[in-house]
Amino acid sequence: MRKGKQPVLLTWRDIAALIEATLRAESVKPSQQAKRDAFRKYGVLGTRKDPPLSAIFYRVMLREGVIDRVIKDITGVVNPALLDPHLRAALRVFIELKLFSKGGVRFSNPLEVKNRVAAYISSKAHPYAGTWFWDAVDRLEGYRLEPKNKDEELMFKYLLPPWYIKRMLQLIGSEAEELFKALLRKPLICVRVNILKSGAGEVAEELRREGKDVKVSEVVPTVIKFKGPYNFDRSRLFRDGKIVIQEEAAALASLILNPKPGETVVDLCAAPGGKTEHMAELMRNKGVIYAFDIDKSRVRRMEELLGRAGISIVKIFVEDGRKAPKLIGSSVADKVLVDAPCTSDGTLMKNPDLRWRMHKDEVPKFAQIQYELLKAALKLVKPGGRVLYTTCSLLREECEDVIVRLLSKERGRIRIVGFNGPYDPGFVEGVMRAWPHRHETIGFFYALIEKVPRG
């Protein structure tokens, strides 16, 4: 706690909001949405309590892997995933508050808080679960967290799983330490201006009137950055569809693919729709975009976004993008975007909980899906048309290795269209990477592929 700063006073409802946000974050993605939903339910959203409670929530997400090590120590369970979800969420919140945020928070009525949390857990899980929670929390008194080996030393230092630390060290050597530090920084909020409804100057001025110190991106002139927090639910700019939440590196993707008015475009992994909406803007809402995604909840968010933005040219398919050629035909598209599912490790600054959900065994599975999506994209695109492959991953297996495999299989039938910035070359000729520690944006990979016309 900084000198002179008063501890955050927490009531039972504050703790309940934190526990429910932590619980929801296990199934609702991104975790920001889980937090907003829980905070809205408990009347926290948009109040003076929102910023300090949000900070606590994100610390829980950031330290989750370390906190789970503590849970193992104080409960004896082999894996916290075996615990009831309500109990697990409550323990994660209390360990953060009593072990890591000690001195920075205080309870308005400690005994009431403890009793009501115990009663809440017993009502949701098992009648004796509340007592078990009480005993586990008591064991935190005098507890000291110590690393058991070198892997844990690295995990505690960088708040990252050891396997990921090793992968990045292999990829970029000692520079990886700068990357790890960048992944711990709190990012600026990024919004992109909807050019169909407003201009960057107008939006920037409105944000300044709201008290924000704004910075316009030099890479994507319609992206504006500013320090949070920001209540999008109460934002007129957001409600009117004048701004879209999108990172600079993600917004660049649509500019690279450069869809034109009247073209036919396919987005194979479209939801929640930021890039789909952006491409429709660039097309001036003329032409057609076929948008595929299998996640119904994310598709609903895409529909809401497109409605706010005034976009009418998108035809949505709640289907796996790999099925797109069978559903809409071959050689039908001028442009195809493959913003493929991936580990998303390039977004760890924005999604701190994700670092503990990444598993090395999933990387080859993602790489296979990415390859299959690219194969579908090549069937969809017309000769001479272009496919943009992007991921928000920094792992070579999900980036360059997928492109190398595709080039080997499609030898002579495709070519890589190289980049001249604005970010850095990747590890294969013609591709590009955005790095959090170099470019102050999320990690992102780009490969622009042209389908060679037959001679």
Q: pLDDT tens for residues 166-176?
A: 999 999 999 99
How many domains does one find in the chain? Answer: 4
User: Same structural domain for residues 233 and 253?
Assistant: no
In this prediction, residue 1 has a pLDDT band, given cuts at 50, 70 and 90, of very low
Given a cut of 70, whether residue 134 has pLDDT beyond it is: yes
**DSSP SS3 for 421:** coil
* Residue 2 covered by a domain: no
User: Same structural domain for residues 281 and 391?
Assistant: yes
Domain housing 332: 248-451
User: Same structural domain for residues 208 and 289?
Assistant: no
* Residue 144 covered by a domain: no
User: Same structural domain for residues 175 and 194?
Assistant: no
* Residue 1 covered by a domain: no
What's the pLDDT at 330?
97
What's the pLDDT at 2?
45
The answer to whether the peptide bond before residue 341 is cis (omega within 30 degrees of 0) is: no
Cα angle vertex 275, ends 29, 410, to 5°?
105
Beta strands in 194-328 (DSSP E): 215-216, 223-226, 243-245, 264-267, 288-292, 314-317
* Residue 72 covered by a domain: yes
Rounded Cα gap, residues 443 and 435, in angstroms: 5
Rounded Cα gap, residues 64 and 86, in angstroms: 15
Verify whether residue 190 is a known catalytic residue: no
Rounded Cα gap, residues 205 and 212, in angstroms: 9
User: Same structural domain for residues 289 and 434?
Assistant: yes
Rounded Cα gap, residues 307 and 31, in angstroms: 23
User: Same structural domain for residues 174 and 214?
Assistant: no
88-107 b/e (C-beta count within 10 Å ≥ 16 → b): bbbbbbbbbbebbbeebbeb
User: Same structural domain for residues 16 and 79?
Assistant: yes
The answer to whether the peptide bond before residue 259 is cis (omega within 30 degrees of 0) is: no
Return the structure tokens found at 237.
Answer: 């700019």
* Residue 3 covered by a domain: no
User: Same structural domain for residues 309 and 434?
Assistant: yes
User: Same structural domain for residues 385 and 259?
Assistant: yes
What's the pLDDT at 455?
63
The neighbouring-strand residues paired with 417 are 448
* Residue 285 covered by a domain: yes
Residue pLDDT, tens place only, 42-65? 999 989 999 999 999 999 999 999
**Taking the model in full, what pTM does it have?**
0.91
Tell me which of 269, 342, 392, 399 is the catalytic residue: 392
Residue pLDDT, tens place only, 146-157? 999 999 999 999
